[in-house]
Amino acid sequence: MTERFNEVAVEWDKGDIRQEIAASVFKTIVSRIALLNTMNIMDFGAGTGLLSFKVAPMVRSVTGVDLSIGMLEQLESKNVPSLHVKTLCQDIMQTPCEGKFHGIVSSMAMHHVENTAQLFQTFYAHLERDGFIAIADLEEEDGTFHAQHGNDGVHHFGFNRDLLREMIDKAGFKNVRFHDAYTVAREDGSYPIFLVTAMK
């Protein structure tokens, strides 16, 4: 999976759909979460930073976490002195970050993680007290969404909200809320994307 993302990294931002998803997810996040200039934020599965650079102007710092060095190199190429996103190429489920964060955001990365329950436990451990998560991903679907590129590295064909809520609750989070973020409309169907928010 990581090799594929390294290969497509240079062309990644040319997809209008990806730009639209990131913009809509960001808009939904700021409508539900107060982002403050004192906050240190993690963008999990940050890729080329499509979401990171929207969040960064509103907070103290953003650290983009990803397993693809190619994606993170594209992210780093966008950094300027006035707007900078840190990068971390690391599996935080195996090797936790040294510091904690006031919030964790993520867009369309969770379906690439096999053990979702462990992922939310990892998120919980990486948050400061009263920290938040704002995680966007696909509603449950039949595998068609990624079919044109192949489902290699796709561990979940979207998510059932009730099952995901139960998982997030078990990880220790409070105030779990689901919000409609965007719908990808294609010839082969419509694919709703949700944002789930919760507090530590």
Per residue in 51-88, pLDDT (tens digit) is 999 999 999 999 999 999 998 999 999 999 999 999 99
- Residue 187: the pLDDT is 79
Contacts 24+ apart (CB under 8 A), 86-94: 86/61, 86/62, 87/46, 87/63, 88/63, 88/64, 90/65, 91/67, 92/44, 92/65, 92/122, 92/126, 93/118, 93/119, 93/122
78 within 8 A of 53, measured Cβ to Cβ: yes
What is the Cβ-side half-sphere exposure of residue 75, based on CA atoms within 13 angstroms?
30
How far apart CA 196 and CA 105 sit, in angstroms, is 10
Task: Give the pLDDT mean for 27-45.
Answer: 97
**Which sequence spans correspond to the domains of the chain?**
2-199
How far apart CA 34 and CA 73 sit, in angstroms, is 29
DSSP symbol at 33: S
Three-class DSSP category at 30:
helix
| Most confident by average pLDDT, 1-5, 43-47, 145-149 | 43-47
CA proximity to 198, closest of 160, 166, 155? 166
CATH for 2-199?
A: 3.40.50.150
- Residue 9: the pLDDT is 46
Task: Give the pLDDT mean for 35-42.
Answer: 98
CA proximity to 165, closest of 125, 120, 109, 105? 120
